[in-house]
Amino acid sequence: MLKNYTSQVSASRSVAYIEACLTKNGARQILKEYDHNGQIDSICFIVPVDGVDMPFKLPARISECERVLRANISRRARPETIKKIPKQAVRTAWKILSDWVEAQMAMIELAQVELTEVFMPYIYNIQLKQTYFEMIKGKGFKALLPGNVEVNNG
């Protein structure tokens, strides 16, 4: 079952909660990025790590959420339900991200993980406009493999 697929929590409330969690745990700057429709699609923030301001970017990936919601809707769904999917995708994507951030912050507060350990895929290279994950994915994840290991693509 999809988590939060019927959430009625507004995206703005989820975003505000994420911001509160981030500031409580050391974020010094927070920026919201918007898509071409004027809708928030990611949160960028800076946290000092060992004296260095480290930028991070958390994307909501709303279009992917909408695609999954559409793929999982009943064939007998009413037309008005189908029309509501785009707005539901916004609420669901942000609520899931809010829940995830909350869980990660709980682990950080209990000294189970470090902030950079959890958020490492989301470290953001401002010049390249890519997260660490996007950079290593673009290189076929080769940066993660030892130099003498061959990748079997077969």
Residues forming a β-bridge with 29: 46
Residue 27, pLDDT score: 94
Tell me, what amino acid is at 92? T
Average pLDDT along the chain, 154 residues, taken 10 residues at a time: 71 95 94 92 95 96 92 85 90 95 95 94 94 92 70 56
Distance (Å, rounded) from C-alpha 32 to C-alpha 102? 18
Residue count of the chain: 154
Tell me, what amino acid is at 14? S
Instruction: Give the sheet arrangement for strand 40-49, strand by strand.
Output: 29-34, 40-49, 52-59
Summary count for the chain: helices (H), strands (E): 6, 5
Residue 14, pLDDT score: 95
Residue 72, pLDDT score: 85
pLDDT tens digit sequence for 80-109: 888 999 999 999 999 999 999 999 999 999
Residue 4, pLDDT score: 61
- Are 19 and 47 in contact by the 8 Å Cβ rule? The answer is no
Cα angle 30, 33, 38; round to 5: 135
Residue 13, pLDDT score: 95
